[in-house]
Amino acid sequence: MTATLDHRSTTNPEPARPPAPRPQEHRSQDPRPQGHRPQGHRPAARVPRPLAYGSPRKGASAIHIATPQLQLSSKPAALVLRTARLSGPVFRDDAAEHTGLSISTVNRQVGALLKAGLIRERADLAPAGAIGRPRLPFELNVADFLTLGIHIGYKVTSITTHDLLHRVVGAIQIPTPAADSPEETLEAIGVSARRFVGRWAGRRVLWAGVALGGRVAPGGSVDHPRLGWSAAPVGRIIAETVGLPVSVASHVEAMAAAELVVNPDQKKSSFLYFYAREMVGTAFCVDGTVHTPTAGPPVIGHFPTGPTTLLDPEKTGRLEPTASDTGVVDAAQALGLSVDAIEGVHDLARGGDATARALLEERAEVLGRTVALIADIFNPDHIVLGGQAFTDFPATLPTVAKAVKTTSVVANRDVRVSHSGTTVQQQAAGAVSLDAIYTDPLEALAATA
C-alpha cells in the first residue's frame, strides 16, 4: 500500500483545549500473559500527560498527516519488508526471487531495514558451514514496534494496537462520545487511545491510523453526515492528542485494504468489497489497488430495497433504514419483540423465535439482492462480504448466496466472507495504521524521529 505525507507545520501551536470527558472503556482484550495484563482501569483525577514518543510539545514544529492510497507498494524496501512479513524467516537470495529485485538491491534494502530495526537476522537458522551475513535469514521484527488503530463507528469506537504482522496485540471498545463538537469527540477518543497505548511502554509506537465513515479529504478532514460532521479535523486532532503521525481513511476502503494485507495474491484479481452493519458501503479493488474516488466513497444507503414483508415498518424503501442494525431493531420492536439492540434479535433467533429468524432472513435477502446488482455493474472476479450483518449470524449466509445467484445476471459469482470476520473494524484500522510503513518503511520511520 502507498501513502503520501502531508507535512503540516505549526510553529506556534494553539493552546490545547481541555479534553472532553473520557468515555468508559469496555470489552478489552490483551493477548499478553495474564501476569502482565494491565489491571482494571480506575478513574483518573486528571487528563494524563502526553506519552514520551513524538508527543506534542510547546514549540513543536510539525505534525504528520498521511493520505493513504491503499495499494500494494512496489518500492524496493516495501517489497523486502512484505517478503519478510509473508515468508520470513527468508534468505536474501530467496527474497530476490520473491520480489524480482536483484540480489545487490535486496542486500542494500536488508541492510537499511536491519539498521532501522524493522527486521532482524536469525543466526540460529544459518545453514551449517555457511560463511558471511548473506546466508543469515531475516524476518520481521514483531517484538519492538506497534501501531495504533482507531475505528470510529456511529455507535462504537474500537481502539487497537497492532504489530508489524498486522496482528491485533490488544483492543478495547468505547461508546463513540457524544459531544457538542467534533473536536471534543475526537479529543475524547484521542485521550482514550493515548491511555490505552501507554500500556505498551516498552515498545515504540510508530504510527496511528483512523478509519471511519464519510468522505476523507487530504489533510485528514472528514465529512461524516451520519455523525453530523463537516470538515472535522480528524487527522489534526488525533495527531496532536496521541502524539503520533496519523493516516486517515474511509473505513470501507480500509477494510478492502485489510483484505490485501492478509492476502496480497488478490493483486492478480479484482474484487468488490461489500460492508454492512450500522452503515452499508462498498469498495472496489483491482490490480492490488483499492479505488478511492476523489469525490469520496460510493453512497449506497439510499438504494431501493424492493418489497419487504417484516423490515422497514416506516416504508422508506431505502437500504440503510431497512437493513442496518438499527433498522432491524426498529422492525423487531414494531413486531412486538422485546429487544433494544441487534444482539437481542440474534439471541431470540438462536433460541427458536420464528419472527426474529424471519427478520434476519429477510435482511439477508435484501442485502444479497443489493450485492448482486452492484456486482453486475463492476463485474469483479469475486465478492467479499464484510461486517457484522454477515458474520454475527452466519446461519443466514446461504440466503445471501441464494439472493445473489437469483438476482445477478452472472450464473455463479464467487462470493466470500471477509478474512477479518468479526474483527473487521479492527483490521481496517490496523491496515490504515500500517499503510505508511508498508509503503515506504524507511521514510515512515524518518517521519517518526
Low-confidence ranges of the chain (pLDDT < 70): 1-61, 128-134, 449
What span, in angstroms and rounded, lies between the C-alpha atoms of 91 and 222?
44
Per-residue model confidence (pLDDT) at position 31? 40
Per-residue model confidence (pLDDT) at position 134? 56
Using an 8 Å Cβ cutoff, are 396 and 429 in contact? no
| CATH topology identical between 3-71+143-257+425-448 and 264-418 | yes
Class of domain 3-71+143-257+425-448: alpha beta
Residue recorded with cell 513524538: 54
CB neighbourhood size of 69 (10 A): 18
Q: What are the extents of the domains in the chain?
A: 3-71+143-257+425-448, 264-418
The distance of Cα 305 from the centroid of its chain, to the nearest Å, equals 28
List CB contacts of 290: < 8 A, sequence separation 6 or more. 70, 71, 253, 256, 257, 260, 283, 284
Nearest to 260 by CA among 69, 6, 66, 404: 69
Q: Which three cell numbers stand for residue 151?
A: 475505528
**Residue 80, CA distances (Å) to 36, 87, 93, 123, 438 in order:** 33, 10, 11, 19, 10
Using an 8 Å Cβ cutoff, are 447 and 5 in contact? yes
The per-residue pLDDT for range 324-343, each reduced to its tens digit, is 999 999 999 999 999 999 99
Per-residue model confidence (pLDDT) at position 420? 84
**Residue 185, CA distances (Å) to 137, 161, 177, 179, 227 in order:** 46, 21, 5, 5, 10
Per-residue model confidence (pLDDT) at position 47? 33
The one-letter amino acid code at 340 reads D
For residue 56, say if its preceding peptide bond is cis, omega within 30 degrees of 0: no
Domain 264-418, classified CATH 3.40.1160.10, yes or no: no
Secondary structure (DSSP) of 189-258: HHHHHHHHHTT-TTSEEEEEEEEESSEEETTTEEEETTTTEEEE-HHHHHHHHHTS-EEEEEHHHHHHHH
Per-residue model confidence (pLDDT) at position 130? 58
Residue recorded with cell 518500492: 75
Residue recorded with cell 503520533: 244
Using an 8 Å Cβ cutoff, are 34 and 203 in contact? no
